[in-house]
Amino acid sequence: MRRLLNCAMRLYPREWRERYGEEMEALLEQLEPSLATGWDLVLGALKMRLRKQSVQITLAFGLLGTVLAGGLLWWVPPRYISEATLIQQGGADQAALTNLLASVMPKVLSRRALSKTIQELDLYGEQRKVEPMEDVVETMRHAISVSQMTGGAGLIVRFVYPQQQRAQAVVDDLVRRLLEENLQSGRAQTLELLDPPTYPHNPIFPNWRAMFATGVAAGLVVGAVIARWRALRLG
C-alpha cells in the first residue's frame, strides 16, 4: 500500500514534487496507508497538473482563435474595388458637373441598363437564383459609387465585387455608358477618361492581417480567462 502511495506521489508535476515532495513524504510516513489517502493524492496530483496547464490552455485557445479566423477568411467572400477617373474637358465646373450627373445617372443606373450588364457579365449568379432581378439590381446599385472630385474637376467611378475581373469589367461598362449618355445629352461640357478602370490585386475586405491578429488576440484572452477560472475553481 505504501508503494502505491509513492506511485501516486509521482503523478504530481516535477516542479511541485521538488518543492513539496520531501515534506509530503515525511507526512505520508506518519499516516496509516489507506485507499482514501491514495485517492486523495491522485485527485490532488490531477488538480496540480491542471493548474500547471494554464499556459497550454491559453495557447490552445490562441491557436483556436487563429483557426477560426482562417475559417472565417475562407468562408467570407472577398470584395475587390475597381475604379476609373473621368475629367471634364474645358476645366472644373462643379455646377455643370452636378447638372450633368442629374441628367445622365438615372439612365446609367436604370433597371434596364443594369439588368443588361448583370446578364452580359454574369454577375450575382447565386443571388439571381433565389431573388428577383429587381433585388439584384438594387444590390448592384449599392455596390456602385460615382463621386465628384474636389471642385468639380471630374468623376471617380467605383464598383465593389467579389471577383477582380468582373469588378473591372463593370467599371469599364459604366464609364462607357456615362460617356455615351454625356454625348447624347447634348450639353456643352463633355467627360474624358483620365484613368481607365483599375485591376484590383488586393481585396478591400477582409483584411487577413487584421482578422488573424484579432483571432489570435481574442483566443489568448479567452484562454487566459478560462485558465484563470479553472485555477481558482480547482484550487
Partner 1 sequence: MTDPPLLLLTSLADGDKHGYAMMEDIAAFAQVKLGPGTLYGAISRLEEQGLIVPLDSDDRRRPYRLTAAGHAHLREQMARLQGLVKVGQSRLRHA
Site of interaction with partner 1 (CB under 8 A): 16, 19-20, 22-28, 30-31, 36-37, 39-45, 47-48, 235
**Angle ∠(206,212,216) on CA atoms, nearest 5:** 150
Comparing CB distances to partner 1, the nearer of 125 and 235 is 235
Comparing CB distances to partner 1, the nearer of 48 and 171 is 48
**Angle ∠(227,233,235) on CA atoms, nearest 5:** 100
Comparing CB distances to partner 1, the nearer of 16 and 212 is 16
Q: How far is the CB of 49 from partner 1 (least distance, A)?
A: 11
Comparing CB distances to partner 1, the nearer of 43 and 225 is 43
Do the Cβ atoms of 69 and 215 come closer than 8 Å? Answer: yes
Q: How far is the CB of 46 from partner 1 (least distance, A)?
A: 9
Could you give phi then psi for residue 191, rounded to 5 degrees? -95, 155
179-200 burial string, b = 16+ CB within 10 Å, else e? bebbeeeeeebebebeeebbeb
Comparing CB distances to partner 1, the nearer of 34 and 165 is 34
Comparing CB distances to partner 1, the nearer of 64 and 231 is 231
Do the Cβ atoms of 152 and 87 come closer than 8 Å? Answer: no
Comparing CB distances to partner 1, the nearer of 44 and 196 is 44
Residue recorded with cell 520531501 = 22
Q: How far is the CB of 227 from partner 1 (least distance, A)?
A: 15
Q: How far is the CB of 38 from partner 1 (least distance, A)?
A: 9
Other C-beta atoms closer than 10 Å to the C-beta of 29 total 10
Sign of the CA dihedral 138, 184, 175, 128?
positive
Q: How far is the CB of 44 from partner 1 (least distance, A)?
A: 2
CA torsion angle 91 93 97 98 (round to 10): 170
CA contacts within 13 A on the Cβ side of 83: 12
Tally of residues, the chain: 235
